[in-house]
Structure 1
Amino acid sequence: MTNRPSEATLRNWRRLAVTDPSERLQTRANKTSSARRIVPLEYLTHRRNLPRLQQLLALLAGNACRLPEVLFSLGRNLLRRRNILARPHVRAVLAEYPWQAIAELETYPLPEDEFDFLGLLYQCLKSEGEKNRQGSYYTPLPLIRQLLQEVSCPASADWLDPCCGSGAFLLAAPARQPQQLTGIDIDELAVMLAKINLLLKFPEQEFSPRIFCANFLHSGPDGLPSGAGVQADPQYDCIVSNPPWGACIPNRPGAALNQPAEETFSSILQQAYRLLRPGGELHFLLPEAALQIKAHREFRRFLLQDCRLHKISAFRNRFAGVSSRSVGVSISRDSPGPEFSFCRAGASISLSRQAILQDEQLRVQCLSAQDRRILSALYDRQEATLAGSTWGLGIVTGDNRGKLCDCGGDGLEAVYTGREISEYQLLPPRKFIRFDRTQLQQAAPDHLYRAPAKLVYKFISPRPVFTCDQGQHLFLNSANMLIPAIPGLDCVTVLAFLNSQLFRYIYQKQFTDLKVLQGNLLRLPFPAVSSPQNRCLSQLAQRILAGETSCRAELEEQVFAAFAVPDRDRDYILQQLQDS
Structure 2
Amino acid sequence: MSEEIINSFKTAEILGISQASIRNWLRHGYLQPVDREGKHFLRAEVLKLKADLSSGKIDRLRSRANKARAEKKFLPVEYLRDEKNLFQLSRLSEFINSEGIDVRMALLVLALNLFSRNGDLQKSELTEIILLRSQDFSRKAVYAELQKLWKEIPEEVKRLTSQEALDVIFKYPLPQERDVLGLIYQSLMREGRKASLGSYFTPPAIVDRMVRENFAPGQKVLDPCCGTGQFLLACADYLQEPEGLFGLDIDWIAVWIARINLLLKFPQDFSPNILVLNPLKDLARDQGEHGKFYGSFDLVITNPPWGAGLEKDVAVKLNAEFPGIISSESFAAFLLVSLELLRDGGRLSFVLPEAILNIRKYAALRKHLVENWRIRKIECLGKRFKNVFSSAIRLELEKAKPCAGQLVLIKRNGQEYQIAQQRFLNNKWYVFDVYLNEQDERILNKVYQVKHLTLKDNADWALGIVTGDNRKFLQAKPLEGYEPIYRGLDVTAFKLKKPSAYIRFEPELMQQVAPLERYRAKEKLIYKFISKRPVFAYDDRGSLTLNSANILIPKLDYPLKVILGLFNSSLYAFIYRKKFHTLKILRGDLEQLPLPLWDKEVLEQIASLVDQILQGNDRFPALDDYILDQFGFTSEEKKYIRFFVQAD
User: Which of the five TM-score ranges fits, normalised by the shorter chain?
Assistant: 0.7 to 0.9
User: Helix, strand or coil: the match of 1:237?
Assistant: strand
- For residues 542 and 110 of structure 1, the distance between their equivalents in structure 2, rounded to whole angstroms, comes to 70
Q: Are 2:247 and 1:183 aligned?
A: yes
Report 1:330-349 matches (<5 A): 330-338=396-404, 339-345=406-412, 346-349=414-417
Match of 1:160 in 2: 222
2:452 to 363, 382, 393: 382
> Could you tell me how far 1:82 is from its partner in structure 2?
4.9
Cα-Cα RMSD: 5.0
- Contact preservation (8 Å) 1:424, 1:467: yes
- Contact preservation (8 Å) 2:223, 2:302: yes
The verdict on how the C-alpha distance between 1:426 and 1:150 changes in structure 2, with shifts beyond 3 A counting, is: farther
Q: Are 2:430 and 1:362 aligned?
A: yes
Which is helix-richer, 1 or 2? 2
Report 1:228-307 matches (<5 A): 235-249=296-310, 250-251=314-315, 253=317, 255-258=320-323, 259-260=325-326, 262-307=328-373
> Could you tell me how far 1:453 is from its partner in structure 2?
8.5
2:264 to 171, 184, 200: 200
Match of 2:607 in 1: 535
Residue type of the alignment partner of 1:170: L
- Contact preservation (8 Å) 2:380, 2:393: yes
Match of 2:148 in 1: 96
- Contact preservation (8 Å) 2:220, 2:299: yes
TM-superposition CA deviations, 1:171-223 (whole Å, max 9, x none): 11133322221110122232223223323333x33222221111111223479
User: Helix, strand or coil: the match of 2:243?
Assistant: helix
- For residues 53 and 415 of structure 1, the distance between their equivalents in structure 2, rounded to whole angstroms, comes to 55
Q: How many residues end up aligned between the 2 structures?
A: 560
- For residues 263 and 449 of structure 1, the distance between their equivalents in structure 2, rounded to whole angstroms, comes to 38
User: Helix, strand or coil: the match of 2:233?
Assistant: helix
- Contact preservation (8 Å) 2:525, 2:536: no
User: Helix, strand or coil: the match of 2:444?
Assistant: helix
Q: Name the stretch that deviates more: 169-178 or 82-91.
A: 82-91
> Could you tell me how far 1:467 is from its partner in structure 2?
6.8
> Could you tell me how far 1:156 is from its partner in structure 2?
1.8
- Contact preservation (8 Å) 1:527, 1:563: no
The verdict on how the C-alpha distance between 1:337 and 1:105 changes in structure 2, with shifts beyond 3 A counting, is: farther
TM-superposition CA deviations, 1:338-378 (whole Å, max 9, x none): 31222223433333334433445333323345533432332
- For residues 126 and 441 of structure 1, the distance between their equivalents in structure 2, rounded to whole angstroms, comes to 45
The verdict on how the C-alpha distance between 1:106 and 1:435 changes in structure 2, with shifts beyond 3 A counting, is: farther
- For residues 66 and 514 of structure 1, the distance between their equivalents in structure 2, rounded to whole angstroms, comes to 44
- For residues 390 and 63 of structure 1, the distance between their equivalents in structure 2, rounded to whole angstroms, comes to 61
- For residues 280 and 137 of structure 1, the distance between their equivalents in structure 2, rounded to whole angstroms, comes to 26
Match of 1:553 in 2: 621
- Contact preservation (8 Å) 2:79, 2:203: yes
Residue type of the alignment partner of 1:211: I
Q: Are 2:569 and 1:500 aligned?
A: yes
Residue type of the alignment partner of 2:453: E
The verdict on how the C-alpha distance between 1:119 and 1:106 changes in structure 2, with shifts beyond 3 A counting, is: farther
- For residues 342 and 527 of structure 1, the distance between their equivalents in structure 2, rounded to whole angstroms, comes to 33
Greater C-alpha Rg: 2
- For residues 384 and 250 of structure 2, the distance between their equivalents in structure 1, rounded to whole angstroms, comes to 23
- What are structure 1's unaligned runs of at least 5 residues? none
Match of 2:53 in 1: none
* TM-score normalised over the length of structure 2: 0.69
The verdict on how the C-alpha distance between 1:355 and 1:472 changes in structure 2, with shifts beyond 3 A counting, is: closer
TM-superposition CA deviations, 1:382-426 (whole Å, max 9, x none): 33338635454697999x9xx89xxx8999x99999889886799
- For residues 488 and 89 of structure 2, the distance between their equivalents in structure 1, rounded to whole angstroms, comes to 35
* TM-score normalised over the length of structure 1: 0.76
Q: Name the stretch that deviates more: 209-218 or 189-198.
A: 189-198
- For residues 53 and 423 of structure 1, the distance between their equivalents in structure 2, rounded to whole angstroms, comes to 52
The verdict on how the C-alpha distance between 1:374 and 1:15 changes in structure 2, with shifts beyond 3 A counting, is: closer
